[in-house]
C-alpha cells in the first residue's frame, strides 16, 4: 500500500500547484523514485503521460474558472502556464471543442478530465506468478537507440526500432549467438535531465565473437522479479506491465530498483501466438 500512498501524495502535490511551475523531478521525489521511473510507472498505471495529465487538469480547472467568473482569458492563460492567449486558446479548443470565450456562453458543454486516484485492483483468483532471481552482472550485445519519454514518443519509437532491425537482417545476424534468454529489449542509461533513455535490442553476450555493428552494454548485478507474459506480445506484455505496477508492487514488500529493465523473447516461435511467452525482468529492492 505504501507505493499507492506515495502516488496519491504526488497527485495531491500536482493539484495544489496547477497554477505554478511543476517540475517532473519534484513530483517524482514525492514518490521516492527517479523522474524516469515515475513517468514510466505513471503511464503504465494510467495510460496517459504525466505531462498530458497535468495539461488536461489545468485546462479542466481553467474552464471551470472561465465559466464561473469574469476573469480575463489572458489572466487565466498566464495562470496555467500559457505565454499567450493564442497558445491557450488552441490547447483549450483541442480539449473542450470550443474557445475560452465560448466556454462562458450558457449551454456550452465542457469536458472535465478528473483527478486521478490509485487503488489496488482485486482480480479474484487471477494470481500473478513470478520468481525472484539473483543474477551476477552480465553483458549484452546489439544495437541501441536513444529515445525520449516526452509526449510518449518512446511508445512509437521502440516498435519502429524493432521493425527496422528485423527488416534489415540485424536480428537474424544475432540469432546464432543467442543464449538462454533469447532476444532482449532493454531500457537503460536513464537521463532524468533530458527525459531520455537508451533502448537496446540484442542478446546476452556468451562468446568472444562480436557480430558486425554491435555495441556492448553492461547489465549490473541485481535482484530480479521475473514475470511471464503469455499471449500475443503487443497485448500480453502491456497488460503484464500494467499488473506489475497496479497489483504486484502495492501487494509486496518490494520497490523498483534504479537499474535496467528487460524483456526477454524466445528465439523461435510466433510472437503473436496465444501461447507465446515473454519474460519481463524487473530489478527490485526490499523496502
Q: Is residue 217 pLDDT above 90, yes or no?
A: yes
Q: What are 44's three cell numbers?
A: 503504465
**Hey, what CATH topology would domain 2-104 get?**
Arc Repressor Mutant, subunit A (1.10.10)
Q: What are 95's three cell numbers?
A: 480539449
Domain coordinates in residue numbering, the chain = 2-104, 130-286
Q: Is residue 121 pLDDT above 80, yes or no?
A: no
By three-state DSSP, how is residue 253 classified? coil
Q: What is the pLDDT of residues 219-261, one digit of tens each?
A: 999 999 999 999 898 889 888 988 888 788 877 878 888 899 9
Distance, CA of 23 to CA of 203 (rounded, Å): 36
Give the closest residue to 217 by CA, choosing from 197, 233, 193, 237: 197
Distance, CA of 99 to CA of 111 (rounded, Å): 12
Please give the CATH number for the structural domain made up of 130-286. Answer: 3.20.80.10
By three-state DSSP, how is residue 109 classified? coil
Put residue 25 in one of left, alpha, beta given phi > 0 → left and psi -120 to 50 → alpha: alpha
Give the chain's mean pLDDT. 87
Phi/psi at 169 (nearest 5 deg)? 85, 0
Q: Is residue 108 pLDDT above 70, yes or no?
A: no
Amino acid at each position: 500500500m505504501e507505493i499507492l500512498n506515495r502516488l496519491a501524495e504526488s497527485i495531491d502535490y500536482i493539484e495544489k500547484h496547477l497554477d505554478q511551475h511543476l517540475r517532473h523531478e519534484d513530483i517524482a521525489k514525492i514518490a521516492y523514485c527517479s523522474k524516469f521511473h515515475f513517468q514510466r510507472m505513471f503511464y503504465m498505471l494510467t495510460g496517459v503521460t504525466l505531462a498530458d495529465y497535468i495539461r488536461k487538469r489545468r485546462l479542466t480547472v481553467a474552464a471551470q474558472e472561465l465559466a464561473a467568473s469574469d476573469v480575463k482569458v489572458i489572466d487565466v492563460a498566464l495562470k496555467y502556464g500559457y505565454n499567450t492567449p493564442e497558445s491557450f486558446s488552441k490547447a483549450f479548443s483541442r480539449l473542450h471543442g470550443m474557445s475560452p470565450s465560448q466556454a462562458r456562453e450558457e449551454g456550452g458543454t465542457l469536458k472535465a478530465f478528473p483527478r486521478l486516484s490509485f487503488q489496488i485492483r482485486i482480480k479474484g483468483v487471477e494470481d500473478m506468478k513470478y520468481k525472484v532471481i539473483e543474477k551476477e552482472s552480465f553483458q549484452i550485445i546489439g544495437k541501441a537507440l536513444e529515445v525520449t519519454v516526452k509526449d510518449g514518443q518512446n511508445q512509437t519509437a521502440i516498435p519502429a526500432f524493432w521493425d527496422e532491425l528485423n527488416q534489415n537482417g540485424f536480428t537474424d545476424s544475432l540469432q546464432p549467438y543467442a543464449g538462454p534468454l533469447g532476444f532482449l529489449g532493454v531500457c537503460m542509461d536513464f537521463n532524468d535531465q533530458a527525459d531520455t533513455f537508451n533502448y537496446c535490442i540484442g542478446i546476452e553476450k556468451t562468446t568472444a565473437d562480436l557480430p558486425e555493428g554491435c555495441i556492448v552494454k553492461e547489465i549490473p548485478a541485481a535482484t530480479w522479479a521475473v514475470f511471464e507474459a503469455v499471449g500475443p506480445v503487443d497485448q500480453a506484455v502491456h497488460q503484464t506491465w500494467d499488473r506489475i505496477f497496479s497489483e504486484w508492487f502495492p501487494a509486496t514488500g518490494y520497490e523498483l530498483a534504479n537499474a535496467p529493465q528487460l524483456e526477454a523473447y524466445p528465439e523461435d516461435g510466433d510472437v503473436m501466438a496465444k501461447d507465446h511467452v515473454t519474460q519481463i525482468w524487473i530489478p527490485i529492492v526490499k523496502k
